[in-house]
Chain A
Amino acid sequence: MSRAAEKQDFSLFAKAAGDGRTTMDFVVEGVRCGGCISRIESALKKQPGIRDARVNFTSRRLTVVWDDRTFDPAAAIRLVEGMGYRTHPFTPRADEREEAAQASFLLRCLAVAGFGAMNIMLLSVSVWSGNVTDITPETRDLFHWLSALIALPVAAYAGQPFFRSAWSVLRVGKVNMDVPISLGIVLALGMSLVETAGSAEHAYFDSAVMLIFFLLCGRYLDHAMRRKTRAVAGNLAAMKAETAHRLSDNGELIEVPAAALMAGDRVLVRAGDRVPADGVVVGGSSRIDESIVTGETTAREIVRNSAVYAGSLNLDGTFTLRVTAAGDNTLLDDIDRLLQKAVGSRSKYVRLADRAAQLYAPVVHATAALTLAGWLLAGASVHAAVLTAICVLIITCPCALALAVPAVQVVTAGKLFRSGIFLNSGDAIERLAEVDTVVFDKTGTLTLPDPQIVNANTIDPALLQQAAALALSSRHPLAAAIARHVATAQPILGAVEEAGKGVRATVDGIELRLGSLAFCGIDDTANPPESAASVIGFRAGDRFAVMLIHQALRPEAHAVVRSLSRLGLQLHVLSGDRAAAVAEVAEGLPFSSWQGGLKPGDKVAFLDRLKSEGRRVLMVGDGINDAPALAAALVSMSPISAAQLSQAQADAVFVGDRLTPVLEALTTSREARRLMTQNLWLAALYNMVAVPIAIAGLVTPLIAALAMSGSSIVVTLNALRLRRPSGRQRADADMPLQPRTSPA
């Protein structure tokens, strides 16, 4: 993939700022210190035509401002990438700005409530100490009226988040947890006014405002947590933006963002690729899986003139597509899809907590009403009965219960996003936490996805040229190595890929085959290969060549495998590659077993055997040949370089060259499960202890307010503990995406 050949349409990302300036946002990878900030900013600001450049370190984004006439984002990207930071154009979502506004509204409410709470407390403490010494009733009344003067406007302003939410559900005849909160606040304020008017000894303005203040603290934490997760998801989506292979008029392949495709473009779709835009097949044939588009699960044969839709997966052939409708799967859709998958889907724990909170909301009101009735029947004064009922109303509110699991889920998703891991399904976290066996594919998973040919100078260039042309039709990493070697190759239409064997096509009556030696009919004893390299054969009619390809292990693969083994996991390697090449990789590492020369079916059979032994398997693989095994495992992960067919099967996808995300996914999800359980217990315990005490009338509204908001803050803070990096990961937790050393 040479970036120089990529032509991108930047108009999608640029924003006219008015007054002759244009701004554009980028996501920058690898910014990790103050030095990076000033290097990037000063280099950009030195460029003529660039008015301003500012790095936001928190969100890892860069905003650049140009004069309209000198707008040249490609030059800016080249400049920043030249310094070793990978850069991607980015459009902030519209609701990201809304969320920022919401966050600052919550902060304003919090500030106002804090101001109110402190000043009212000042007056309340004076009254309390005065009540046991010598305060005159006149001074007390003055202090109560002053409290009212502060509390009423403060509650009216700072209570808005609760009142609005309560009103919006009440209007449609439903109840949420903001209803009892709002009711509690209004009742406490109303009762205090009545008391103050009657010159009573106690008023509860402090409780109402304190409740608002602490609840807002929890609300803001929760909101900030979600916002951070979304921002990270947005950055990741920018890096993962889907690309398409456009055929230019002279037959060259150009990689473009899928969103930049226009009607009339011709696009090459290889086996395992996702169809980037709606269109009509103009060359080649294949079978495609349209389950995402139509829900139909049987594959459809497509030939010339068949219509295909964006999002379908190309299963085995290579075909050319004439785009009829420009791709609308823009970045924004990507982000939403990501978030929905990671946070939105209903996991087991979320369902449990949801049901509990739903059942609980009516119970809160019923309990408060029964308490009121009970105390009245028992002969208590109306004043005491109402006061106890208010306490019950506030203290039983199931905020902590409703927050217990989602809070952990959001923090977990954020942490995984930051480690460069996308979740394709929401319950993947729970399944990852249960894993006790990890099965790795070798090529492209344990090793880097871009291996090199080592014996190119011994092969006839014409033959290599043909092999490269055929290799363009395959997503296999070894094929990609050959295609990369000959940059000028033009794709062969109608090539068919046989998973786990190779690709074949017929050109001018001669059958071309590229793949395993057996697939090409080459006697492998004739060419004793070096053990360090993988072997791929090519046959054109009766001429043939054997290419040796060397694969480098992913950085830190050794350390990751050792750490996984220390976690008590059983590890296996299954590869379609020759046993000698697998041995090279697996030797000396704590693998329980390794096998080479496997077909896709063999891998599934191996997983089934593990399953029947009661083991819970995580499959890590990337090739099309791994897709069935990925689907068969309890939970699966793919590197971002994997075929999209495999990515679609995987529960999680990780970016970057390193294998560390596998380790991180496992440790994070184990930690997350522990915190979810803790949180559910905390919330349940709080209710079991606090509710009976409140019903018994043993607490004042102030204590009720503190206990209730305290419980939700404890649950949120407990979830945030997950964010704390642990041990060795601390050093590099923020940089899973190191700039590649090779300029490939």
Chain B
Amino acid sequence: MSVLVVLVPLALGLGLAGLFAFLWTLKNGQYDDMEGASLRVLSDDDLAESERGPRRD
């Protein structure tokens, strides 16, 4: 049963890691425009911009 000493904290730790990751994405505004995000992934604007060099001052 001594394995519990490792496994229980490990399970809790993994759970907590997931929880904090979620809270971070939430705070980061990643759920503000769900539909937009699904479309932006296909846009190659950023690529074209890096090829043209920086445009903004």
**CB-based contact A115/B15 at 8 Å:** yes
Interface string of A103-128 (1 = CB under 8 A from B): 01001100110110011001000000
Q: What is the minimal beta-carbon distance from B5 to any residue of chain A, in angstroms?
A: 11
A58 with B34: CB separation less than 8 A: yes
Q: Across the interface, do A38 and B26 meet the contact criterion of CB distance under 8 Å?
A: no
Whether A56 sits at the interface, judged by CB under 8 Å, is yes
Asked if A10 is an interface residue, CB under 8 A from chain B, the answer is no
Q: Are B16 and A34 in contact (CB under 8 A)?
A: no
Contact, CB under 8 Å: B15 / A34: no
Q: Does B11 sit at the interface, judged by CB under 8 A?
A: yes
Most buried by A among B15, B34, B39, B43: B39
Given contacts A57-B35, A58-B35, A139-B1, contact A118 B43 (CB under 8 A): no
Q: Return the chain A residue nearest B48 by Cβ.
A: A42
A33 to B8, CA, bound (A): 47
Set of chain A residues within 8 Å of B36, measured between Cβ atoms: 37, 55-58
For the complex, give the distance between the alpha carbons of A114 and B23 in Å.
12
Q: A724 to nearest B CB, angstroms?
A: 15
**Docked CA distance A59–B34 (Å):** 10
Chain B 6-42 residues near chain A, CB threshold 8 A: 8, 11-12, 15-16, 18-19, 22-23, 26-27, 31-36, 39-40, 42
Chain B contact residues, majority secondary structure:
helix
Q: Which residue of A lies closest to B8 (CB)?
A: A146
Residues of B within 8 A of A41 (CB): 45
Give complex CA distance A37, B45 in Å.
10
Query: Count the B residues whose beta carbon is within 8 Å of the partner chain — how many?
Result: 26
B17 nearest CB across to chain A (Å): 10
Task: Identify which of B1, B12, B32, B45 contacts A42 (C-beta below 8 A).
Answer: B45
Known: A56-B32, A56-B33, A111-B19. A34 touches B8 (CB 8 A): no
Contact bitstring A32-68, B, C-beta under 8 A = 1, else 0? 0110011001100110000000011111000000000
Chain A residues, Cβ within 8 Å of B39? 33-34, 37, 57
B11→A122 contact, CB < 8 A? yes
Q: Which of B1, B19, B42 contacts A115 (CB 8 A)?
A: B19
Min CB distance A100 to B, Å, is: 8
B32 touches A107 (CB 8 A): no
On whether A34 and B43 interact (CB within 8 A), knowing A115-B16, A122-B11, the answer reads: yes
Smallest Cβ distance from A23 to chain B, in angstroms? 15
- Chain A, interface size: which category? 20 to 34
Shortest beta-carbon distance from B3 to chain A in Å: 12
Check B23–A108 contact: CB distance below 8 A. Answer: yes
Q: Find out whether the CB atom of A119 lies under 8 angstroms from the CB atom of B18.
A: no
Query: CA of A128 to CA of B43 in the docked complex: distance in angstroms?
Result: 51
In the bound complex, what is the Cα–Cα distance between A55 and B43 (angstroms)?
A: 13
Shortest CB–CB separation between residue A59 and chain B, in angstroms?
Answer: 7
Bound complex: CA A119 to CA B45 (Å): 43
Q: Once the chains are docked, how many angstroms separate the CA of A111 from the CA of B26?
A: 10
* Residues from chain A with Cβ under 8 Å of B8 in the complex: 146
Closest residue of chain B to A57 (Cβ to Cβ) is B36
Q: Are B19 and A59 in contact (CB under 8 A)?
A: no
Residues of A within 8 A of B56 (CB): 45
Write the nearest CB–CB distance from A423 to chain B, whole angstroms: 25
Residues of B within 8 A of A57 (CB): 33, 35-36, 39
Of A38, A58, A122, the residue contacting B33 (CB under 8 A) is A58
B26: which of A34, A56, A59, A107 is its contact (CB, 8 Å)?
Answer: A107
Q: Which residue of A lies closest to B29 (CB)?
A: A104
State A111–B4 Cα separation when bound (angstroms). Answer: 25
- Are B22 and A111 in touch, CB under 8 angstroms? yes
Residues of A close to B43: CB separation below 8 A: 34, 37-38
Q: Which chain A residues border B40 with CB–CB below 8 Å?
A: 34, 37
A38 and B47 CA atoms in complex are apart in Å by 13
Q: Are B19 and A38 in contact (CB-based, < 8 A)?
A: no
What are 22 residue pairs bridging A and B, where the CB atoms are less than 8 Å apart in the complex?
A34-B40, A34-B43, A41-B45, A45-B56, A46-B55, A56-B36, A57-B39, A58-B32, A58-B33, A58-B36, A59-B33, A108-B23, A108-B26, A111-B19, A111-B22, A115-B15, A115-B16, A115-B19, A119-B12, A119-B15, A122-B11, A150-B12
Binding site for A on B (CB under 8 A): 1, 4, 8, 11-12, 15-16, 18-19, 22-23, 26-27, 31-36, 39-40, 42-43, 45, 55-56
Q: Which 7 A-B pairs have the closest CB atoms?
A: A57-B36, A34-B39, A115-B19, A56-B33, A58-B35, A57-B35, A58-B33
